[in-house]
Every structure is written in C-alpha cells, then in structure tokens.
C-alpha cells in the first residue's frame, strides 16, 4: 500500500510547516510515520482499507490542527480521504468549502478558506492560545460534521540545561538559556540534561534542529515526571549549531504519536513507546480522522564541537 495514498497525507501541511513556525512533528519524523504505517505488518496489499480508516467507498474528512500555547490560533488544513488505488494529488484531496470553527468558552472563531489546498486561516485579531484551557473544533463539510476537544497544557519553561557526568550525573557546567553560540560542548562530552518544572501532561516530545532545518529528528512521547530529560548523543549530529524544542503534549497528540509506529527511522532511533501495540492510529476526533491537539513549547540552543576541538 502506497504511503501517500493510504491516508491522503493525514498530517498534510503541518508536516511541511511554513518557514518560521514551530513544528511539533518534523518532516523527517513525518516521513518515518507514514512509512511506518505503510509497512505495518497488518497493512499488506491484501488488507481491506476499511480495517484502518473505514469503508473504502466512504469519504472521510481529515483535519489537521495543532494549537500552541501563547501563540495565535493556527492555520487548519481540511482534506478528504480517497481510494487507496488513486494517486495522491493535493488539489483533489483538498476540501476548500468547509465551515471551520474553533470554540473557546462562549467565543467562536470562524475560519476563512484561502481557496486552495484545504487551508483555513483564523479571523484577524484572534487571541493567543491560553494554557490549561479547553478548546473545541467543529468542521462541517461534505454533508458531515467533525468535532474534537483539546485541553491545552500549562506553559513549559526550561529552567536549566546542564552537561552532566555520564556515570555520577554530577553537573560539569550549565548552559546559558538565552544563548546559543556561548553554549559549546565537545561531541560526546558528558550528557545533556534538560530540567524544568514538570507539568500535568501525559508526555513530552523533543525535536532537534541541526543547522539546516531540513535536517532534524523528533522523539517519541517521553515521560519526565521528575522534570528531567536526557538528550542522547545518537540523536545529535557530530558538530555544528543545534536548536532543541521541548514540547508538553496534550492527550490527543500523545495518543496520536504513541499509536503510530515510526519503524525506528527517526533520529532518536525508536518509534512507539515500549509495550504499545495499535492496529490503527488514535485520532480522538468524532466524525473524521486526523489531529486536533495542543502543546506548549520552550527552546534552547548549543554548538557541538568536533571531538578534536575544545574551544
């Protein structure tokens, strides 16, 4: 089964983010996700597509919307599934005449279509996304309605990034949170530990951006109940500038990420959480598939020096 026709790019343009926007699921991880779905042992050419996404003859609406705490309401992508034997085309899959609304309390934010590729933008002057707040989505299209609910995480703030000794875990030195160039570390010198006040969330995700933002990798959902995450060296390039984004995930994003097998192709070297087995992705939407979720994010940067350099 072709990885692009199987789910008509469930994540759509979220996986091809516009320059300057944060990406929860980077393109490299997205490719692994889709490849993992396509090569899942249960997804052979003989398998009925209905067992994964529903009856083959029924069009299913696909929603892609991720809210980020303290940022304005995001662009939303609305597409539809097509038969697995039809070549994927963005224009053919796009739904451009949907009624898309995000609701928060008594407030309703009616989105406007840009007229192509299923892209919808929030109304001008929309407020920033609040932490610890319930948001709902309603999409009406193709004589159907899709709905979902997310409760945004609290704000995440990275309190300390330290280089620790690998065996004793004693701090060798600390990074400067507001600097990148001053935060220099020789490749494989100790371990990089991220410290923060833990939030009441299911899990976190770490995304590593290496210089060119096309060269990146994301982790599976990670637990950090003590507010500490170790950044493994095998997830980091041997030299150069790196930016690290740490996300606190809502339940919807946690369920989606842990239910999709990445086939070990992401930079962190593994996919779903140990022990997780799923026959299909978990979407947490009524009436459709895709993602309506939320996250909060904080970042830091550092420079990795080759092993034969120290300054």
| Pair (144, 164) in one structural domain | no
Query: Mind listing the pLDDT tens digit for each residue in 259-311?
Result: 875 433 343 433 344 445 667 788 999 999 999 999 999 999 999 988 765 44
Domain co-membership, 147 together with 177:
no
Residue 172 and residue 194 in one domain: yes
The reply to whether 130 and 180 lie within a common domain is no
Distances in whole angstroms, Cα of residue 38 to Cα of each of 34, 49, 270, 274: 6, 11, 17, 20
Are both 30 and 126 inside the same structural domain? yes
- N-term to C-term CA, the chain: 50
281 and 162 inside one domain: yes
Instruction: State which of 122, 151, 180 marks the end of a domain.
Output: 151
Residue 311 resides in a domain: no
Domain containing 68 equals: 12-151
Between the CA atoms of 243, 249, 253 and 256, what dihedral angle is there, to the nearest 10 degrees?
80
Asked if the structure places residue 2 within a domain, the reply is no
At residue 291, the pLDDT reads 93
- 143: alpha, beta or left, given left = phi > 0 and alpha = psi -120 to 50? left
Residue 286 domain flag? yes
- The answer to whether residue 51 is domain-embedded is yes
Query: What are the contacts of 164-172 at 24+ separation with CB within 8 A?
Result: 164/190, 164/191, 164/192, 164/193, 165/190, 165/191, 166/190, 166/191, 169/193
Same domain, 82 and 183: no
Q: Is it the case that residue 147 has pLDDT exceeding 60?
A: yes
Same domain membership, residue 207 and residue 112: no
Domain boundary among 105, 133, 151: 151
Do 134 and 58 belong to one domain?
yes
The answer to whether position 186 is within a domain reads yes
Closest-CA residue to 216 (of 194, 192, 189, 244): 244
Domain stops at, among 151, 183, 198: 151
Instruction: Domain count for the chain, please give it.
Output: 2
Q: What is the pTM of this model?
A: 0.78
Question: Are 147 and 163 within one domain?
Answer: no
CATH code of the domain covering residue 182: 2.60.40.1220
Cβ–Cβ under 8 Å, residues 75 and 13: yes
> Do 295 and 166 share a structural domain?
yes
How much is the pLDDT for 216? Answer: 57
Q: What is the mean pLDDT of residues 65-79?
A: 96
Task: Judge if 60 and 83 occupy the same domain.
Answer: yes
């Amino acid at each position: 089964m072709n990885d692009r026709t199987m789910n008509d790019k469930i994540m759509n343009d979220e996986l091809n983010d516009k320059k300057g926007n944060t990406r929860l699921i980077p393109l490299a991880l997205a490719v692994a996700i889709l490849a993992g779905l396509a090569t899942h042992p249960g997804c052979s050419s003989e398998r009925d597509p209905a067992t994964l996404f529903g009856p083959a003859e029924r069009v299913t609406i696909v929603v892609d919307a991720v809210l980020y705490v303290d940022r304005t309401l995001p662009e939303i992508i609305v597409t539809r599934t097509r038969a697995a034997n039809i070549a994927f085309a963005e224009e053919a899959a796009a739904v451009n005449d949907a009624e898309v609304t995000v609701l928060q309390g008594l407030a309703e934010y009616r989105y406007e279509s840009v007229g192509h590729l299923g892209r919808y933008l929030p109304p001008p002057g929309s407020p920033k996304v609040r932490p610890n707040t319930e948001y709902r989505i309603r999409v009406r299209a193709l004589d159907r309605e899709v709905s979902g609910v997310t409760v945004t995480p609290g704000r995440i703030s990275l309190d300390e990034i330290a280089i620790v000794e690998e065996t004793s875990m004693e701090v060798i030195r600390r990074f400067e949170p507001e600097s990148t160039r001053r935060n220099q570390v020789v490749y494989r010198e100790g371990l990089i530990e991220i410290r923060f006040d833990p939030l009441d969330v299911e899990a976190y995700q770490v995304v590593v951006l290496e210089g060119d933002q096309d060269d990146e990798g994301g982790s599976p959902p990670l637990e950090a109940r003590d507010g500490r995450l170790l950044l493994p060296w095998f997830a980091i390039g041997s030299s150069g500038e790196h930016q690290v984004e740490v996300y606190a995930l809502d339940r919807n994003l946690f369920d989606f990420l842990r239910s999709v097998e990445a086939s070990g192709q992401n930079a962190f070297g593994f996919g779903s959480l140990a022990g997780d087995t799923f026959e299909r992705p978990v979407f947490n939407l009524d009436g459709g598939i895709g993602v309506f979720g939320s996250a909060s994010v904080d970042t830091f940067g550092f420079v990795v020096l080759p092993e034969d350099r120290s300054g």
